Amino acid sequence: MKNVTIIIIAGGSASGKTNVALKIANEILEGEPVVHVSMDHYYKSFANLSFEEKQKLNFDHPSTLDIDLLCQHLDLLKQRKPIDIPIYDFTTHSQTGTSTRVEPSDVVILDGILSLHIEEIRKRGDIRIFIRTDDDIRFIRHLQRDTVERGRSVADIIEQYLTTVRPSYKYFVETSIDHADIIVPYSEYNTIAVDMIATKIKSLLRKN
């Protein structure tokens, strides 16, 4: 049975992690079997809390994630077994109770802000990448995404950024850069870094 290569992509909120993951999967590894998994779907549901109480939670803290389930899923993919990824609703801060079936693949790309901070996840990666993006760019992208895609008000986004997102980035995310094999300065057109990463992945696939 061929080995499964797990690539971990970390970085701050709205740093471009998913864009880099999709560029690797779609533009560079086109034709190769690739699975993309986002840690965003592994938030706990906190069904016992009201919506107002959920809004006060720090979703950039490891305690809000179902780390055990994510690790279990990574192990299953490593064993070439399918998984059912939960579907999370950001507008209500809760799990929907539904899931998406994902079949195993030669390459698994996992992205998440805390993916390099959490040791249980980090140690499962074969290639560890950190996307480094300027704070102001991340904030602007965060503001645009949460107003358009998640129905948040500008005032709520600013408050969340100042009280949880920025402090958690400094404490959990920024320090995890020390665990990265590759550090990518993010820009929309940083194709050289993506090419380098894809070349390494193709090398691993050839060895398999």
| Token pair 């645009």 in the structure block, residue | 144
Task: Report d(CA 154, CA 16) in Å as an integer.
Answer: 21
- Side chain identity, residue 55: Q
What the chain holds in terms of domains, given with CATH numbers, is: 5-192 (3.40.50.300)
| Token pair 């998640």 in the structure block, residue | 150
Return all residues near 85 (Cβ < 8 A) that are at least 6 apart: 37, 41, 73, 99, 100, 102
Write the pLDDT tens digit of every residue in 39-52.
999 999 888 999 88
Task: Report d(CA 199, CA 195) in Å as an integer.
Answer: 6
Write the pLDDT tens digit of every residue in 92-145.
889 999 999 999 998 899 999 999 999 999 999 999 999 998 888 888 888 888
Please tell me what DSSP assigns to residue 171: I
| Mode of pairing for the β-strands spanning 182-185 and 127-132 | parallel
User: What's the predicted TM-score (pTM) here?
Assistant: 0.87
pLDDT-based confidence at residue 155 (cuts at 50, 70, 90): confident
